[in-house]
Amino acid sequence: MTRRLLRQALMAALFVVAVPVSAFAQTGTVIDWGPDSYAWESIYNPASHLSGPGSVLNAVGVINSFAGPLAAIDPNTAGTEYTYYLSGLTTAIGTTVTAGPTLSVYKTIYTGGTMVIYQGSPRNAAFGINPPNGTVPSTFIDGSLFLSGTIPTFTVTVTRVNATGAYVNGNADSGDPPNGSWTGGSALALVSAGGHPCPWRLTGGWDMRPADVLTGYVALFDGKIDLNCPTPAVPSTWGSIKSRYRD
């Protein structure tokens, strides 16, 4: 092959590999909480287990573990407390039910939520009953802002026994691929890559057994946050490609 044809072939290859490609590597769990975490809802019928259209879901809890880029921070340090407040998640149509022979699946899709995590002292978070109240969410959003973000979707799925309505299992998930967006807080740089905040996913167990849930709340939310940070592609220059094919 002549030098001119080789150059043309390499240029064609360069244009192909130069197309921006977004590759992602799962960073993993960075924040975990439970069992000190409960959710409440504005329009919920505990007898039928149904959320009504327009119902707003909120949750508060105490962080008990950091990992990954936040691993150097100990949330259990004496006198210091890390708490979260998930708020503003709204369901447009309420709960939909898919009935089976013996079990039924209850699914509620929420949108438009906000997540904030605060670092405060002393350790004063208290749930009380029938939130919001004098301590919820006030004692979970005092101190300094550690992280803040938005979460566009959040789905709660619960399975119950048809004959009795008894709870079988439940989970909550903001969706895959991760769609949460960090927007601020003192730890923003730690959950960012290349100067850009990493997408995140919120998941966890959703326990609605009456024996496990405080009065006035709808569920115990044992949750976690996973990061999905981008892995930047290493660009190749025309000069470096040419050097590989020099005589």
Q: Which one has a higher pLDDT value, 221 or 22?
A: 221
Question: Given the structure tokens 């730890």, which residue do they identify?
Answer: 187
Residue 245's pLDDT is 42
Position 177 pLDDT exceeds 50: yes
pLDDT confidence bin for 35, thresholds 50/70/90: confident
Q: What residues contact 70, with CB distance under 8 A and at least 6 apart?
A: 30, 31, 187, 190, 191
- Whether pLDDT at 133 is above 80: yes
Tokens of 110: 């929420």
With cut-offs at 50, 70 and 90, classify the pLDDT of residue 200: very high
End-to-end CA distance of the chain: 12
What confidence category does residue 175 fall into, taking pLDDT thresholds of 50, 70 and 90?
A: very high
Please give the Cα distance from 86 to 55 (Å, whole number).
Answer: 14
* Domain extent listing, the chain: 24-234
Q: Quick one: pLDDT at residue 86? A: 98
Look at residue 231 in the predicted model and tell me its pLDDT: 67
What confidence tier does 232 reach under pLDDT thresholds 50, 70, 90? low
Q: What is the DSSP string of 27-84?
A: EEEEEEEEEEEEEEESSEETTTTEEPTT-EEEEEEEEEEE-GGGTT--TT-TT-EEEE
Burial of 63 (0-12, 13-18, 19+ CB in 10 A): buried
**pLDDT for the residue numbered 230:** 77
- Residue that wins the pLDDT comparison between 72 and 22: 72
User: The pTM is what?
Assistant: 0.84
